Amino acid sequence: MESQMGLIEKSFDGRFSNWIREALDELPDNFTITDPSISGHPIVFASRGFLKMSGYSKNEVIGKNGRIFQGPRTDRRSIMEIREAIREEKTIQINLLNYRKDGTPFWMLFNLSPVVSKEDGKVTHFLAVQVPISRKIRTAGNGYGRNGCSYVDEGSGLQEIMFGSCRREVCTDSVVEVGRIHMLNSFVDSETRGLGAEELCEASDMEKQKAAKAVNNILSMLTHYSELTGRLVCGKRCCSVRISPLGSSLIISLGRIKQSFVLIDANLHDMPIVYASDAFLKMTGYTRHEVLGCNFRFLDGPDTDMKAICQIRESIESERASSVRILSYRKDGCTFWNLLHISPVRNASGKIAFYAGVQIVEGCTNGVSDAMSPEMRQLGAMGAIKVAVRSLSMCAGSSKS
């Protein structure tokens, strides 16, 4: 049986070219890379910046789980969120209190992102970027634990692992429901209520942008060095080969609709985006290949309201239309208020084939007369989408008869 350190040494072998470690060492950012396929989910790479920031040597970090950076004041609820993000293989950005080797605590903006294989859509590694937070007092008394975290996912218990457990745990445990997390909130708050406001730090917009830029740079490098081996990786499960392409006739019809919208396949796992309009790509800054195959939640971020997300989920579960004002994130990390209207799209037989999401940036008219409200613009676009889908399905049905 191969040793743990042998597996760690081979974590990058075959997936990336031989120069990947040297190339990553040249980057100035503070980051670690972990391998969830190895027992204990260990760190397999730590950047020079991270080692300098934490005070550890490379030998003291490689092969260890991220819990070595936790301490007595590390927030339990934040760790729960990180663990849940790993379970569901999603991105999370959260303010976190960690400890250096000498025991001194420091606040950082922790950004965890999956690295996904383009071959089969499986997560090969997790990238964790850490940006030190300038000391900043938070006056809002909303409890020690929230720390501006993303809606996506939650992590471990008191001293449980910062990067989650090994992949075995992910396979054997059922996915922890959000309700379990809320049940723990009162317990966590009661233990942490006594901490002073000076203990709370929150990342600035500049620090969030710095983290987003670092993630993009590192993922671009991982993608480049995986191209040299033919085993491509990317930052999102947006390149899944299991997405069935739309017919050219439908694409042409949808292309005539100038509003920002996406079409989501209601019958595929995780309801991926199968069409994104040019206006949507321009609005968000993403390219089409970065969007197709993603779940619509990829626009969510640290400050996206969970209530708005729940409203979207409920409308889909109940198969009805819904409108919501939600904070969304562009590719560059900038936020915008998204006036989103989502509605089921039925084929000629009345079965739900897709869900369409029409977006309007709040306050932006795009040259459209002020006499037309955002709601009317959305309903107009939604009507055109439904006509395009229904007409095509009717034509397909008549051609078969």
| 339 neighbors 378 (Cβ within 8 angstroms) | yes
pLDDT score recorded for residue 395? 53
Contacting residues for 64 by C-beta, under 8 A, at least 6 apart: 42, 43
pLDDT score recorded for residue 367? 53
Q: Beta partners for 32?
A: 46, 128
| 40 neighbors 65 (Cβ within 8 angstroms) | yes
Fold for the domain defined by 248-400: Beta-Lactamase (3.30.450)
Distance CA(139)–CA(374), nearest Å, equals 36
pLDDT score recorded for residue 84? 85
220 to 58, 112, 227, 358: CA distances (angstroms): 24, 15, 11, 30
pLDDT score recorded for residue 165? 37
Contacting residues for 255 by C-beta, under 8 A, at least 6 apart: 277, 278
pLDDT score recorded for residue 174? 38
SS3 184: helix
Q: E-assigned strands of 102-177?
A: 105-117, 123-132
| 74 neighbors 146 (Cβ within 8 angstroms) | no
Q: List, by residue range, all CATH 3.30.450.20 domains of the chain.
A: 4-234, 248-400
Instruction: Tell me the angle at which helices 178-192 and 76-87 cross, rounded to the nearest 10 degrees.
Output: 160
Token pair 């081979």: residue: 10
What is the full per-residue pLDDT of the chain (401 aa) written as tens digits? 457 788 888 899 888 988 899 999 999 999 999 999 998 999 999 999 999 999 999 999 999 999 999 999 999 899 998 988 888 788 899 999 999 999 999 999 999 999 988 777 788 999 999 999 986 555 444 333 334 433 333 333 333 333 443 333 333 343 344 444 444 444 444 444 434 434 678 888 899 999 989 998 999 899 889 888 888 887 765 444 445 567 778 888 898 999 999 999 888 877 889 899 999 999 999 988 788 888 888 899 888 998 999 999 899 989 999 999 999 999 988 999 999 999 999 887 788 989 999 999 987 765 555 557 888 989 999 999 999 888 775 554 444 44
Architecture field, domain 4-234:
2-Layer Sandwich (3.30)
pLDDT score recorded for residue 384? 93
Residue 217, CB-side half-sphere exposure with 13 Å CA sphere: 16
